[in-house]
Amino acid sequence: MKTLFTRIRAISPSLYYCGLAHLALFALMTIIAQFDHRQLMGINLWTKPIKFAISIAIYCLTWPLLLQYLPFERLKQRFVNFTVFAMAFEMLAIASQAARGQLSHYNTLGAYNALVFSSMGIVIVSQTLFALYIGIRFFKVRAVQITSALLWAIRLGIIMAGFFAMEGGIMASRLAHTVGAADGGPGLPFFNWSRIAGDLRIAHFMGMHALQIVPLFVIFSGVKTARPAIIFASAYFVMISLLFANAMLGRPLF
């Protein structure tokens, strides 16, 4: 593990320290939640920033391991800089709204809340489009340093993660993530995905983590050729699409 973190820091110090900062925020807000018992929509108001902190940490620490195989140095640095800015902005918005006792997402009550929500949307959509562009540029890379399987896993993992990240636009347009009930009902532990209705966050979450899951399949399975990687990625895409369709029909995961 120490060797892995050393490698990540060597590839991109900016993303490395951004990831560590969010791990620290995860720990800090977890402690704060033990003393601040205020609730929003039936759960501790620090739950959302806690989840976002760990998710952003994983996101930041994943990208250097992918970017090391992309040769376009100036493009990579611009992407890294914008990603660090975008993740810090999102975390600041989510955590500050929680501290105020306000929802960060789908909150259009009042000029300030609406400004925060719309600004978050602009920043994260811009970062997602940039990430998709990085995924497209990976199609210019040839399998020299890495196997064809890992190269295709990186390509498809990035594209799939960006595609399902854009699902956030559907939730934003509805000002809700639950289909068939109001947001904030009974949910699964930690994730709080609805147990009584469809929840669009499930496909959103699982799809975005294709960034890690598809390459990890290749690494742990040991496959070398492109075909198994493409088949796995395709099957994963179908599974997430079914989760999305299930949510749109108003059905809970379980």
Nearest of 180, 47, 58 to residue 104 by alpha carbon: 47
User: Which pLDDT score is estimated for 80?
Assistant: 98
d(CA 231, CA 244): 20
CA distance 182 to 54: 26
Which residue ranges make up each domain of the chain?
1-141, 147-254
136 to each of 152, 160, 239, how far by Cα in Å? Answer: 11, 11, 23
pLDDT band at 143 (very low <50, low <70, confident <90, very high): confident
Whether the pLDDT of residue 2 is over 80: the answer is: no
Mapped onto helix, strand or coil, the DSSP state of residue 72 is coil
Segment 122-129 long-range contacts (CB within 8 Å, at least 24 positions apart): 123/85, 123/86, 123/89, 123/90, 124/86, 124/90, 124/165, 124/168, 125/166, 125/169, 126/82, 126/86, 127/82, 127/83, 127/86, 127/87, 128/162, 128/165, 128/166, 129/162
Structure tokens at 98: 């929680």
pLDDT tens string 69-117: 999 999 999 999 999 999 999 999 999 999 999 999 999 999 999 999 9
Instruction: Look up tokens 């890992």; give the residue.
Output: 150
**Which residues, including other chains, have CB under 8 Å from residue 167's CB and lie 6 or more apart?**
200, 203, 204, 207, 244
pLDDT in tens, 164-192: 999 999 999 999 999 999 998 888 988 89
- Please report the pLDDT score of residue 184 as a whole number: 84
- SS3 of 134-200: the string is HHHHHHHCCCCCCCHHHHHHHHHHHHHHHHHHCCHHHHHHHCCCEECCCCCCCECCCCCCECCCEEC
pTM assigned to the model: 0.94
